[in-house]
């Protein structure tokens, strides 16, 4: 899946966090203008349909490879105050997640691991991923 986003803050008087999805491997970034391109290739590896008693039901295991890139005008703190400079952010990595149901509840929980490489700082990053399917609260279910 290819996602492209653009955001621009017209009022430079206030420094705000971007509303765009953050680039994996970076904390939130501040700025006046951002262009973000993310490329994901996800596919299911297994459908084990494995129940561990009535505690956990393992529905599916999913792999995802990603590449994130962003360009923007970021606020930089200088001796004279705050200045604007051009910055770029890039990362690449993989995610391995599984879809689970706990205690025979209908709502899906996605848990997994994300490992990647920050191309700007030349270092590795690792994250634990947890997501919840709350679509039943709104009357829709996309499973």
> What residue ranges do the domains of the chain occupy?
2-138
Supply the pLDDT for residue 125: 95
Decide if 115 contacts 126 (C-beta within 8 A): yes
Name the maximum alpha-carbon separation found in the chain: 63
**CA atoms of 54 and 133, how far apart (whole Å):** 19
Lookup: tokens for 109? 């929980």
Decide if 42 contacts 62 (C-beta within 8 A): yes
pTM of the model: 0.76
Burial of 143 by CB count in 10 Å (0-12 exposed, 13-18 middle, 19+ buried)?
Answer: exposed
Of 93, 100, 129, nearest to 113 by C-alpha is 129
Chain segment 57-103, per-residue pLDDT in tens? 999 999 999 999 988 877 677 788 777 778 888 999 999 999 999 99
Chain segment 96-140, per-residue pLDDT in tens? 999 999 998 888 899 999 999 999 889 999 999 999 877 766 665
């Amino acid at each position: 899946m290819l996602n492209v986003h653009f955001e621009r803050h017209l009022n430079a008087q206030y420094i705000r966090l971007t509303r765009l999805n953050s680039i994996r491997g970076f904390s939130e970034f501040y700025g006046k203008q951002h262009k973000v391109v993310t490329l994901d290739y996800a596919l299911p590896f297994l459908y084990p349909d494995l129940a561990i008693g009535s505690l956990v039901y393992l529905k599916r295991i999913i792999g995802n490879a990603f590449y994130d890139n962003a360009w923007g005008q970021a606020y930089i703190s200088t001796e004279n105050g705050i200045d604007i400079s051009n910055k770029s952010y890039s990362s690449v990595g993989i995610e391995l997640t599984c879809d689970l149901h706990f205690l025979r509840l209908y709502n899906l929980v996605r848990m997994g691991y994300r490992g990647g490489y920050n191309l700007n700082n030349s270092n590795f990053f690792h994250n634990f991923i947890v997501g919840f399917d709350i679509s039943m609260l709104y009357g829709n279910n996309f499973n």
